[in-house]
Structure formats: structure tokens, C-alpha cells
């Protein structure tokens, strides 16, 4: 049984009070070409060939046997090894196929209008049915990881597919600039009214398919890994600036999006670097924080 992160996150939330005075995030000095050209592997590590297994719903158990590595304390960022099993991944890929739609971004004066913008975000995605047995398990897995941190609601899981030819996602945050008064998109509305003001607190991005060239997840404001880190999971950017996470099937990355006062942490801004060949498929899991309740502890 793994200990939840709540004790660690509580202390970090209390001390992590950095809030930028700027409402926007400046990435003018970043470019995909400079990032990709500057990438280098750290110490390489061998990977295990994928063995596809069919999930048996009658015997399936929601196992929680994963391990974590801390990548950053403030903001809290963790790498999760073996977050998903092969049969869980194959099950999700199977129910997601033939349901993908072009990915949208939020825009408009309130920041909540969905628009297509392939310059900003080029990919396809789909939302998994919340009644699916694996979706329910992964939701509980996120809630178990959060422990004493508010997790009454987890959005419906989103599968996102990046294809060769440069599919990408420019710099963005998972949290919203203003509290969102309607997160009915994929929301489990059994516990809270979807119109209650909320924001995204915890994010998990899990890798389902990694048969691709490039496609790293890049956090430009986070510390880089050591040069001795596992080269199958991490890469180094030019100047060792920022955290670069490689796609690796079954593994995931978790980060906390918000400060203790409920405002968004700009340091969690990240990019999905272009996929040059092959396919990268990932899974987004977002927990919601309702602003009228305490973030840590409480009822």
C-alpha cells in the first residue's frame, strides 16, 4: 500500500505562495525547433517489449501497485512508474478507437469558449464513458494518490492522440485563469453541482502509446533532471533548461496546478512537443477543486 501524497502536498501548499503579478505567460523565447534541436538523451535504459493482453472484466481488479519519483517539490511534480497495466491500456485504446475528434482549445473573453486552433493544438481526443470499469479504476487511483487533498470530483478521462507530421500542443496550463462555473465537460456531477466555481487541482498525464519519435512533454519552468537520470524516461534540453519527459507506455507524470490560495501556478505551464513520426497517445486525468471548501483536510 502506497502512502498518499497529502502530507507532502499540505506542507508544500503552505510554503508555495509564489504568485506572479503577470496574468499571461511569456514564451516568446521558446521555439519547437530550438527545443527539438537541443534535445539529448540522458543515460539510456533498455525497455521491455509490449505484450498485449485482453482485459477480463469478471476477474479485473483495480490494482494500485505503482512507484513514484519526485521531480520537483515546489510545485509538486512526480513521475509515476507503472501507473497503468498493459491490459488497462489496451482496453482504453480499444474503446477510444473510432471516437476521436479534433482537439479544441479554450478561448474567448471568459476563456471558456471551445475553438479549433491547430497552430496552438494539433491532435485528436475523446472522452471515456465514466461507467467503464477501467475509467472508474483510474479515477479511484487518482483519488487515492491525492489522499487528504480535495478530490470529490474527477473529470471524465480524456484520451488524446498525437500523430506523425508534427502534432503538438503549444504552451498552456491545465488550470483556468478564472474559476470555472461550468465544468460539465465530462464531469461526474453526482457529488457537486457543476455550476459551483472550481478549477483543476491535480493533473495526471499517462502514456498509452510511445511508438513515436520525439513528442516529449516539456515544462520550461521546472528544474531539469540529472544527467544520470533514466534516458528511457527523460531527456535534456539545450542549456539543461526545463523538465523533458519522454513518452513511455504505462508510466505517467503528476503535478499540482494550484497555489494554496486557489490561484493557478504559472510554473506548471507545459508543451506537448511535435511528434515527428509514429503515434503518441496519452490519457488526461484532472481532479477538480471547489473554491468554497478547504483544499486539504476537511469533511
Q: Identify the pLDDT of residue 23.
A: 35
Q: Identify the pLDDT of residue 112.
A: 62
Over the stretch 126-146, which tens digit does the pLDDT of each residue have?
999 999 999 999 999 999 999
Q: Identify the pLDDT of residue 147.
A: 86
At what angle are helices 133-146 and 86-96 packed, to 10 degrees? 120
Does residue 279 contact residue 163 with C-beta atoms inside 8 Å? Answer: yes
- Is the confidence at residue 121, as pLDDT, over 70? yes
The percentage of the chain sitting over the pLDDT mark of 70, rounded to a whole number, equals 74
Tell me the C-alpha distance between 37 and 12, whole Å.
Answer: 35
Mean pLDDT of the chain: 81
Does residue 113 contact residue 254 with C-beta atoms inside 8 Å? Answer: no
Instruction: Provide the Cα torsion 87, 88, 91, 97; round to 10°.
Output: -120
Q: Is pLDDT larger for residue 292 or for residue 90?
A: 90
Over the stretch 30-87, which tens digit does the pLDDT of each residue have?
555 555 545 555 554 445 556 566 777 777 888 878 999 999 999 999 999 999 999 9
Q: Identify the pLDDT of residue 40.
A: 58
* Cα angle 214, 135, 131; round to 5: 145
Beta-carbon contacts of residue 82 (< 8 Å; ≥ 6 apart): 65, 66, 67, 250, 251
Q: How confident is the model at residue 152 (pLDDT cuts 50, 70, 90)?
A: confident
CA–chain centroid gap for 11, Å, is 22
- Is the confidence at residue 226, as pLDDT, over 60? yes
Over the stretch 154-211, which tens digit does the pLDDT of each residue have?
999 999 999 999 999 999 999 988 776 555 444 444 555 556 788 999 999 999 999 9
Q: Identify the pLDDT of residue 58.
A: 74
Burial class of residue 112 (count of CB atoms within 10 Å of its CB; 0-12, 13-18, 19+): middle
The percentage of the chain sitting over the pLDDT mark of 90, rounded to a whole number, equals 54
- Is the confidence at residue 28, as pLDDT, over 60? no
Q: Is pLDDT larger for residue 299 or for residue 96?
A: 96
- Is the confidence at residue 299, as pLDDT, over 70? no
Q: Identify the pLDDT of residue 59.
A: 78
Topology of domain 53-246+256-290 in CATH is Jelly Rolls (2.60.120)
Q: Identify the pLDDT of residue 2.
A: 46
Provide the residue ranges of all domains of the chain, joining segments of one domain with +: 53-246+256-290
User: 174 — phi, psi (to 5°)?
Assistant: -80, -25
**Among the ranges 63-67, 110-114, 182-186, 224-228, which has the highest mean pLDDT value?**
224-228
**SS3 label, residue 81:** strand
* Cα angle 13, 82, 207; round to 5: 80
Place of cell 513528442: 215
In this structure, the chain runs to a length of 299
Q: Identify the pLDDT of residue 162.
A: 96
Does residue 289 contact residue 201 with C-beta atoms inside 8 Å? Answer: yes
Instruction: Note if the pTM is more than 0.85.
Output: no
Give the single-character DSSP code of 13. H
Q: Identify the pLDDT of residue 117.
A: 81
Asked whether the CA dihedral 80, 83, 85, 87 is positive or negative, the reply is negative
Tell me the C-alpha distance between 75 and 13, whole Å.
Answer: 9
Amino acid at each position: 500500500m502506497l502512502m498518499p501524497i497529502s502530507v507532502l502536498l499540505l506542507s508544500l501548499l503552505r510554503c508555495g505562495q509564489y504568485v506572479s503579478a503577470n496574468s499571461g505567460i511569456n514564451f516568446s523565447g521558446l521555439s519547437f525547433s530550438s527545443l527539438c534541436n537541443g534535445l539529448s538523451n540522458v543515460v539510456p535504459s533498455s525497455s521491455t517489449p509490449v505484450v498485449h493482453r485482453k482485459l477480463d472484466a469478471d476477474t479485473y481488479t483495480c490494482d494500485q501497485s505503482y512507484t513514484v519519483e519526485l521531480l520537483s517539490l515546489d510545485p509538486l511534480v512526480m513521475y509515476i512508474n507503472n501507473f497503468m497495466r498493459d491490459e488497462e491500456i489496451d482496453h482504453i485504446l480499444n474503446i477510444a478507437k473510432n471516437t476521436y475528434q479534433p482537439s479544441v482549445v479554450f478561448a474567448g473573453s471568459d476563456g471558456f469558449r471551445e475553438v479549433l486552433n491547430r497552430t496552438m493544438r494539433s491532435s485528436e481526443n475523446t472522452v471515456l464513458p465514466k461507467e467503464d470499469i477501467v475509467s472508474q479504476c483510474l479515477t479511484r487511483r487518482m483519488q487515492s494518490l491525492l489522499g487528504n487533498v480535495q478530490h470529490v470530483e474527477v473529470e471524465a478521462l480524456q484520451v488524446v492522440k498525437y500523430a506523425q507530421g508534427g502534432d503538438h500542443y503549444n504552451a498552456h496550463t491545465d488550470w483556468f485563469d478564472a474559476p470555472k462555473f461550468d465544468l460539465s465537460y465530462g464531469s461526474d456531477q453526482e457529488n457537486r453541482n457543476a455550476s459551483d466555481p472550481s478549477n483543476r487541482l491535480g493533473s495526471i498525464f499517462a502514456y498509452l502509446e510511445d511508438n513515436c519519435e520525439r513528442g516529449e512533454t516539456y515544462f520550461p519552468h521546472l528544474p531539469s533532471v540529472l544527467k544520470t537520470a533514466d534516458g528511457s524516461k527523460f531527456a535534456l534540453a539545450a542549456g539543461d533548461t526545463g523538465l523533458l519527459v519522454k513518452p513511455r507506455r504505462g508510466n505517467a507524470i503528476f503535478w499540482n496546478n494550484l497555489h494554496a490560495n486557489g490561484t493557478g501556478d504559472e510554473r506548471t505551464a507545459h508543451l506537448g512537443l511535435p511528434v515527428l513520426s509514429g503515434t503518441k497517445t496519452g490519457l488526461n486525468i484532472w481532479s477538480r477543486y471547489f473554491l468554497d471548501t478547504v483544499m486539504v483536510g476537511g469533511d
